[in-house]
Amino acid sequence: MATQIPDQKRVGMVSLGCPKALVDSERILTSLRADGYAMSADYAGADVVLVNTCGFLDSAKEESLEAIGEAIAENGRVIVTGCMGDEAELIRARFPQVLAITGAHQYEDVVKAVHEAAPPSQGPFVDLIPANDAGVKLTPRHYSYLKISEGCNHACAFCIIPSLRGKLASRRVDAVLREAEKLVAAGTKELLVISQDTSAYGVDIRHEERMWKGHPVRAHMADLARELGQLRTPQGETPWVRLHYVYPYPHVDQVIPLMAEGLLTPYLDIPFQHASPKVLRAMKRPANEAKVLERLKSWRAICPDIAVRSSFVVGFPGETEEDFRYLLDWLEDAQLDRVGAFRFEPVEGAAANALPDPVPEEVKEERYARIMDVTARISAAKLAAKIGRTLPVIIDEVGEPDEDGDVGAAGRSQADAPEIDGAVYLRNVPESLRAGDFVQVEIEDADAHDLFGVIV
């Protein structure tokens, strides 16, 4: 008599917000898959839908509420998790039919809520399905986010992350390295190291040592970066290791030689936020912009190809025209490779909301346009200087042959993080090219954000 395998319950996921939230979504789905659940790519096929929300800005909260409403309209059985979980009353006031609400990185509570809403299928052929070494991934196979800590010890006036995700809580260094090793063994060619404050990794656990591959390793950004640089893919390649959310503490200088040695991708994502000392003090941020310029110069002397990206807030309360011009002049001196700008937006619970002298919306818009013009000009000049060079590129997507049989592809240089920075567009690539391949590319042209070239 044949054994009838029960139908698997299916879970849909809408993941909003930053890469750190995406990692949370991957962990939740990995746990659910191990419990026998299947994943659904659409609302119609899901027994329950998870919405992982973002609550960093009021606009992000509204986007999260819209996503919850869409999931309810399309499916009806919705569980909410993530940063907006602390605002359960607001969510239930608008959507009383939501099945459950949990906060950020409350993995066990989310899984429990799914079990209650859609009990897992019972049976030895469905339960305890083993996860692969890398778990469920919501990114392409060739790159992965590696979250090394949770929470933050800063008290920036415009931010509510500590109230949403708590104080800094670093992972064990051997656990981080074990996860990285598994990801690379499973096909990851690029590791994107993320946290709320990557430079502070290990401070809360006093940089404790753990044994790894027969030797002790500290829970410290520099030690972790050095060990990650020793990883190799099954093909013997060195995966790219890219550092995000790096505050410019003095010990950041220790990772620059690793970039020069080729152990670490020559790229730093540093959230400077502003340059005016007065605005930085109001933001409760370090106000050492002159020293930062000196360090940028020294980093480039050690590793000429280092790319530095950052983000800046315009229109912070009290920001004068003089403050903004100071920022523009600083950017001319800093010559950052990649820059993102954001108009200041009040966030419920943030200390900045009580500051005097709010900047009018029309002034924010005018300053936003000006900073984007300046940074686009700087970017265009820096990219134009790469014309004629041969650069390593990782392939993200390969197109279909056109009417002439030519195949194009899109990839990224070491100066480009996925979903954030620019791209390298290639012509006449071989049809055998695949996403995740490393190639050498001669740069033929450039615009303000992207490069164009051909494989050599």
Tokens 């990557």, located at residue: 198
Enumerate the β-bridge partners of residue 243: 193, 268
The answer to whether 304 and 297 have CB atoms below 8 angstroms apart is: no
pLDDT digits (tens, 9 = 90+) for 340-390: 999 998 887 888 888 999 999 999 999 999 999 999 999 999 999 999 999
Average pLDDT over residues 181-195: 96
- Core vs surface per residue 101-131: b (16+ CB within 10 A) or e: bbbbbbeebbbebbeebbebbeeeebeeeee
Average pLDDT over residues 34-45: 90
Annotated binding-site ranges for [4Fe-4S] cluster: 18, 54, 83, 152, 156, 159
- Most confident of the following: 140-144, 427-431, 439-443: 439-443
Closest CA to 78 of 12, 145, 6, 148: 12
Least confident window among 105-109, 125-129, 155-159, 173-177: 125-129
The pLDDT assigned to 128 comes to: 44
Average pLDDT over residues 64-79: 95
The pLDDT assigned to 403 comes to: 83
| Residue 273 clears pLDDT 70, i.e. is over it | yes
Average pLDDT over residues 217-246: 96
The pLDDT assigned to 216 comes to: 97
Average pLDDT over residues 96-124: 85
The pLDDT assigned to 379 comes to: 97
Question: Residue 343 and residue 269: Cα distance in Å, rounded?
Answer: 19
* Comparison of pLDDT for 162 and 153, the residue scoring more: 153
Least confident window among 2-16, 102-116, 120-134: 120-134
pLDDT digits (tens, 9 = 90+) for 240-252: 999 999 998 999 9
Q: With bands split at pLDDT 50, 70 and 90, how would you rate the model's confidence at 117?
A: very high
DSSP E strands in 72-189: the ranges are 78-82, 100-101, 143-147, 149-150, 169-170
Pairing of strands 10-15, 38-40: parallel
Q: Which fold has domain 390-455?
A: OB fold (Dihydrolipoamide Acetyltransferase, E2P) (2.40.50)
Annotated binding-site ranges: 18, 54, 83, 152, 156, 159
The residues, any chain, with a CB within 8 Å of residue 353's CB and separated by 6 or more, are: 346, 347
The pLDDT assigned to 272 comes to: 93
The pLDDT assigned to 122 comes to: 56
The pLDDT assigned to 129 comes to: 42
pLDDT digits (tens, 9 = 90+) for 291-320: 899 999 999 999 999 999 999 999 999 999
* Comparison of pLDDT for 271 and 162, the residue scoring more: 271
Q: Which fold has domain 143-384?
A: pyruvate-formate lyase- activating enzyme (3.80.30)
Indicate the length of the chain as a whole number.
456
| Residue 132 clears pLDDT 50, i.e. is over it | no
The pLDDT assigned to 287 comes to: 65
Q: What percent of the chain has pLDDT over 90?
A: 74
pTM for this prediction: 0.83
Average pLDDT over residues 35-56: 91
Question: Residue 41 and residue 12: Cα distance in Å, rounded?
Answer: 6
| Residue 166 clears pLDDT 50, i.e. is over it | yes
Q: What percent of the chain has pLDDT over 70?
A: 95
- In sequence order, which ranges of 148-288 are alpha helices (DSSP H)? 161-165, 173-185, 221-228, 256-260, 277-283
The pLDDT assigned to 208 comes to: 97
Q: With bands split at pLDDT 50, 70 and 90, how would you rate the model's confidence at 456?
A: very high
Q: Which fold has domain 10-117?
A: Rossmann fold (3.40.50)
One fold for both 10-117 and 390-455? no
Average pLDDT over residues 201-227: 97
How high does pLDDT run on average in the chain?
Answer: 91
The pLDDT assigned to 105 comes to: 73
| Residue 430 clears pLDDT 60, i.e. is over it | yes
The pLDDT assigned to 55 comes to: 83
Average pLDDT over residues 11-31: 90
Surface-to-core class of residue 12, CB atoms within 10 Å of its CB (0-12 exposed, 13-18 middle, 19+ buried): buried
| Residue 149 clears pLDDT 90, i.e. is over it | yes
| Residue 133 clears pLDDT 80, i.e. is over it | no
The pLDDT assigned to 155 comes to: 82
Assigned token pair, 299: 């980093």
List the chain domain ranges. Answer: 10-117, 143-384, 390-455
Question: Residue 24 and residue 106: Cα distance in Å, rounded?
Answer: 9
Average pLDDT over residues 35-39: 88
